Amino acid sequence: MKKLIISVWAFIALPLFAQRDANIRIYLEQGNQQISKHIYGQFAEHLGSCIYGGLWVGPESDIPNTQGYRTDVLNALKKLQIPNLRWPGGCFADEYHWMDGIGPKENRPKMVNNNWGGTIEDNSFGTHEFLNLCELLGCEPYISGNVGSGTVEEMAKWVEYMTSEGDSPMANLRRKNGRDKAWKVKFFGVGNESWGCGGSMRPEYYSDLYRRYSTYCRNYDSNVLFKIASGASDYDYNWTETLMKQIGGRMDGISLHYYTVGDWNNKGSATDFNTEDYYWTLGKCLEIEDVVKKHIAIMDKYDPKKNIALMVDEWGTWWDVEPGTIPGHLFQQNTMRDAFVAALTLHVFHKYTDRVKMANIAQIVNVLQSMILTKGKDMVLTPTYHVFEMYKVHQDATFLPMDLICDKEKVRDNREVPVVSASASRDSQGKIHISLANVDPRQSENIHIDLQNVTIKSVNGRILTASSINDYNTFDSPEKVKPEVFKGAKVEKGKLSVSLPPMSIVVLEVL
Ligand code: AHR
């Protein structure tokens, strides 16, 4: 009878207290690649309230602002150490005519934003407003040029306007518009999604256009452009193959877009999902590793020395819009599930950093998997923001390879999701950072980390967790999900052991 009571108790208690084990071995001596900080890039499109209301309110606004930029958003973004910001799209880029967005605001023509809800765009945020924002944020601008509906001349003049120091017509126009010194613009995209919203082209035709347009994107004075071709979507390996063959070394980078989305016609709610949906999402998110590997294998064939970079310049979750918001504005909430998608995806990018030199999560404010949501004068930081803030320690640090052994969950569509994901790096001061994610919503994980010959002096960390995978921050409750001090790591006989609570993301600093 007693035995029966014990076993019934054990059965009931299992889901609450169960704990699993995982093992990690980190190979410090094999660290020879730098995690490009540009993997932590952001993306701002003229879409919904990303620019207007999100980043820019104008100097006359009641909302506190710094030269027109929202001060609260600006301060929050500064904490992320954003390395680069992509603009003006996305699909918007191939209908954008940059000359409409310079000069006195009252003279700037309006346009219809055909891609995103038919909203009227008044062009009050243009080249100066964007490049000055990059200066305030201390990040590199990444401009997407218009190949789909723009001319070669228009693109060539834009580059001249932004970067020429000399007595050139476009530099003089820039001066007339109030900016004497040229900006530095390194990253320049020659078109966006040229297979779709950027012109519905075939890869052979786009390759020729790339060659033509990019010829006239000149390096002025000391500015050296890093030219990026409009790359494939997801599994379109033929696109990558054709561009590698036809464009080759004329491009410095080729892009790739991968969104974590299931059915494009029924993407599902950002907040209302069950555990099965949750695991499916993580499976789909992790599939990016296979996709990246296959694109890299093609690139390796044509460019074995890895001179051309793979730039995943759009990635993230894409859910149904928040009920009551404009469908074309792509405003979605952001839960712990999104935080895991961010953490797991960043771990994959770290691993392939010898080829993946840039990534841009879509998008920075109020659109798709954003860092920040705004409503009027209110602002809220999303769980994804907190992952980017905690993970910034990996930027430009040396990637440390590891072995990880842990349990896996079987999920819908024959996918498997390892319950633990991890990545490690060593920064320029010798500090080791280990990011760990326990995706299991019910069970904690005991992680045994072998750092081999390292003598560990101290370990501390921060944790992002919640009471449910559906948890998110709202304007009424902005701090429901936020990082806290983590006390679950200890050193025993020279080995590091970490007790990761269910559904948690931890970043450790090991000295
Ligand atoms: O990020 C939203 C849109 O997704 C971009 O404008 C486009 O490039 C992609 O299809």
Task: Report how far ligand 1's centroid is from the alpha carbon of 472 (Å).
Answer: 24
Segment 133-154 mean pLDDT: 98
pLDDT (tens digit per residue) in 103-121: 999 999 999 999 999 999 9
In sign, the C-alpha dihedral spanning 201, 204, 209, 215 is positive
Nearest Cα residue to atom 7 of ligand 1:
90
Copy the structure tokens of residue 348: 């994959």
- The CA 91 to ligand 1 mean position distance, Å, reads 6
Per-residue pLDDT reduced to its tens digit, 145-166: 999 999 999 999 999 999 999 9
- CATH classification for the domain delimited by 20-29+401-510, as one of 2.60.40.1180, 3.10.129.10, 3.30.930.10, 3.90.76.10: 2.60.40.1180
Bond before 363 cis per omega within 30 degrees: yes
Residues 498 and 447: beta-carbon distance below 8 Å: yes
pLDDT reading at 3 higher than 50? no
Q: Residue 19: what pLDDT? A: 80
pLDDT of residue 11 exceeding 60, the answer is no
- For the chain, what percentages of helix, strand and coil (3-state, to nearest 5) are there? 30, 30, 40
User: Annotated active-site positions, please?
Assistant: 193, 314
Q: Tell the burial category of 181 from Cβ atoms under 10 Å away from its Cβ (0-12, 13-18, 19+).
A: exposed
Q: What is the DSSP string of 336-348?
A: HHHHHHHHHHHHH
What percent of the chain clears pLDDT 70, i.e. is strictly above it?
96
Residue 382 DSSP class: -
Q: Give the pLDDT of residue 62.
A: 98
From the CA of 338, how far away is ligand 1's center (Å)?
Answer: 18
Give, rounded to a whole angstrom, the gap between the first and last alpha carbons of the chain.
52
Q: Which atom of ligand 1 lies at the shortest distance from residue 43's CA? A: 1
Vertex 171 angle, CA 170 and 173, to 5° = 60
Q: Which atom of ligand 1 is nearest to the CA of 90?
A: 6
Instruction: Write down the pLDDT at residue 267.
Output: 97
pLDDT at 7: 35
Does 1 have pLDDT greater than 70? no
pLDDT tens digits, one per residue of 16-65? 446 899 999 999 999 999 999 999 999 999 999 999 999 999 999 999 99
The reply to whether omega before 88 is within 30° of 0 (cis) is yes
Residues 435-452, mean pLDDT to the nearest whole number: 96
Question: Model confidence over 345-364: pLDDT tens digits?
Answer: 999 999 999 999 999 999 99
Q: What is the pLDDT of residue 237?
A: 98
pLDDT digits (tens, 9 = 90+) for 483-494: 999 999 999 888
Residue 317 Cα distances to 96, 129, 314, angstroms:
25, 28, 10
pTM summary value: 0.95
**Ligand 1 atom at shortest distance from the alpha carbon of 115:** 6
Nearest CA to ligand 1 atom 5: 90
- The domain 34-396: what is its CATH number? 3.20.20.80
Mean of per-residue pLDDT scores for the chain: 95
Residues 6+ apart with CB under 8 A from 100: 108, 109, 111, 123, 126
Residue-wise pLDDT tens digits, 359-418? 999 999 999 999 999 999 999 999 999 999 999 999 999 999 999 999 999 998 888 999
Residue 5 has pLDDT above 50, yes or no: no
CB of 131 closer than 6 angstroms to any ligand 1 atom: no
> What atom in ligand 1 is closest to the CA of residue 92?
6
Which one of 42, 43, 45, 114 would you pick to mutate in the ligand 1 pocket, going by the greatest count of ligand atoms within 8 A of its CB?
A: 45
pLDDT of residue 492: 85
What was the pLDDT predicted at 414?
86
Q: Which helix (H) or strand (E) holds 298?
A: helix 288-302
Ligand 1 mutation target, pool 43, 91, 321, 363, most atoms within 8 A of CB: 91
The answer to whether the CB of 314 is under 6 A from ligand 1 is yes
**Topology alike, domains 20-29+401-510 and 34-396:** no
Domain boundaries, the chain: 20-29+401-510, 34-396
45 within ligand 1 shell (Cβ under 6 A): yes
Q: Which residue has its alpha carbon closest to ligand 1 atom 9? A: 90
Q: Quick one: which atom of ligand 1 is closest to the CA of 196? A: 10
Taking the centre of ligand 1 as the mean of its atom positions, its distance from the CA of residue 320, in whole angstroms, is 15
Give me ligand 1 centre to Cα 143, in Å.
15
Dist. CA 504–CA 201, nearest whole Å: 43
Contact 302, 248 (CB under 8 A): yes
Ligand 1 within 6 A of 89 CB? Answer: yes
As a whole number, mean pLDDT of residues 123-128 equals 98
